[in-house]
Chains A and B, each alone.
Chain A
Amino acid sequence: MSLLKYESQQREPLVDGNKDYHQVTEDIISPIEMKPGRLWYIGFYISVALLMFGVYSIYREVTYGIGQWNLNKTIGWGWDITNFVWWVGIGHAGTLISAILLLFRQGWRTGVNRAAEAMTIFAVMCAGQFPIWHMGRVWMAFFVLPYPNTRGPLWVNFNSPLLWDVFAISTYFTVSLLFWYSGLMPDFATVRDRAKTKFRKMMYGIAAFGWTGSTKHWQRFESLSLVLAGLSTPLVLSVHTIVSFDFATSVVPGWHTTIFPPYFVAGAIFSGFAMVQTLLIIVRKVLNLQDYITVGHIEAMNKVIVLTGSIVGIAYLTELFIAWYGQNPYEIHAFFENRGNIFSPYGWSYYLMMFCNVLSPQLFWSKKLRRNITVTFFMSIIVNIGMWYERFVIIVTSVYRDFLPSSWSTYYSPSIYEIGFYLGTFGLFFTCFFFFAKYFPVIAVAEIKSILKTSGENYKVKMSDIEKADAEKFYIEEVEHAH
């Protein structure tokens, strides 16, 4: 038994039940090979309907202009940019799980990384819609790219945070996609080699890129994953930092704060994990994957939620303190009148945000609640609502009453097409996610197999027997093997 890899009994098993390699394949791949159930069709059609509504809203916006949205002179960024930042934030959890947790050697990421990365990619796709359509003349969108043109050439402004955003989001999307897909190839090969029908064999054969599982390929694959993780780690932090620069480098009171980058990144991870929880709690139930996405996984993610939620809370309080301490009348107005005064037009949204993001996650200090699926599911929704309101508060309460009282705008409420556009991105997101859940291995099969013998329940039980029987011999054997 000397090759049995050792892991402390203190750690919860990551794979429950009595599994061997074949069983892992069977459990994760078989939902792909079955016909989708009724629930899947209902969900899919609802998503497509939402998507269609979004397409219609965009059609209205492109045909008649930004006036279809209830933006006005001072509120030039309303729901659209709120939604953009919200979706980008959600798109942070996937790469965090797959990259940062890989570097930190967190074994539990293997159960959730595939779905979380898919979520990241779909969320970034949704996020990208908002700035693109907000341009108004969307057919000019390519102007954001620095290409040689006949106007000089007149280049883009490389000093502008809005351009940094173009580079950050597109790089983030590309790298996440590559990272995700390189991990998918071996699993597609697994589906291909089990395929019963010719069509499925062909489709998954194309998707698998001719993966064979050769040792040399795995060696390169591991090196590639490690370097991509190393690259993605600063990348994921840079993306929301740059999004926060869109605000922080301006001179608008309420935006012009140096705390924004870390505060935004923490908020992004916070909302991203909440979205992962929402999706995975449903996925594990529907696809019967409770053995792979265990309560332990959910608890681990809840720990991240309570940590990042508290960081966000500290950031809110720091902002308030600095507004008071700095004694800048405009900033004091932005924080204590536009936001902090519950009777001001948007005061309610500030307190809703505080409640959802700072107070409610504190429930997760209790282990019992952290491990409760129902509580987690509701909390994940509350956190996502709260994080949407955070962006809404930052954007709208800072601009609706700015320096010049004569241009203070009336109450801003979105038009039906503004809401429709937002719902449309939900449609896009869930259409993609339903497609993913049906045709892709939602859990990284190869990665689960590689941790099975250290963290599988049945193997851990065996380990404890050996441990007890002859602790010293076990230790020596393991140490010898390790070197």
Chain B
Amino acid sequence: MARAETDTGLPETGGGSGSLWALALRRLIRNKIALACMTVIGVMYLAGTLTIFTSPTPYGYNDQDLRKESVKQGPSLSHPFGTDRLGRDLLTRVIYGLRTTVIITVAGMLTGGLFLGVGLGLIAGYFGRWMDAVIMRVGEVFLAFPGLLLVMLIAATVKPRVKDWAQGWSGGLERLTGIDIIQLGVVDYVVIFGALSAFSWVGMARLVRGQVLYVKGSQYIEAAMAMGASNRRILLSHVLPNIISPVIVVVSMGMGATAGSEIVLSWLGIGIQPPTPSLGVMIFQNGNISVLRSDPHLILFPVLTVTALIFAFNLLGDALNDAFNPRTR
């Protein structure tokens, strides 16, 4: 556990597992790029999360304004990102598009990457034998299929049924809480990140399994076993903290990829349905050169937002890697 600390030559700040985190955090903060990335991600996630409660701008995401002087307007003071062909404020739509990205990346990562991936990887690596065989073979089968195509299949076949089913009880929920989950597009989110996570756990599980196999032979695990610690205790208190740093790096990189998947799904018409904004739909609706010539703001702002977010995640992943594993620098 003390691998990282002993090599840094930095003053010890205290014993126990906290120091690893404290040190990593300090290294991260000293890295200017990492700081910038965290700021970008933080601002975007904050804005996206805000929309669940209220619109962060004076406009609603579907406030149309069909007047000649208000459609397709370039950036101005009242509309910093301009307006689209229906006179809707583009900044508002980009922010609501971020909401989709936030929900899908967080939920997809939590269920697929962390819960399924880390859980199954720990089990496969630690218990070995038939559990390992079953989990890893199933994972290989999943990997053998082109993931996006399967996600398409599931979204196309399962989603309508889930939606029908949700329609059945959403009325009651709406009367109780005043929230119309169908209108919010929650069903779309659930099916899509469900489908995404069903296929995104394999990589994580492999990584975790390899790490577990590596630390399993360590003396501290042997010691814990000798003292009669339960499997659960060994896994959660001894194995997991020692393999977590590569997991964090992969999660950070994976967030970017998940955000990208949502865009591709929207492009295929099986993602978020309008009028709920989605960055993917915005990009592909205006994704052509003529638009770039005539109304560049329609395409530039959504694309720049997505690009910035995905770049930030990737650079942050690198920075995290440096922070957790200074030797590899």
Q: Do A and B come from one complex?
A: no
- Point out residues on B near A: beta carbons under 8 Å: none
B-binding residues in A (CB < 8 A): none
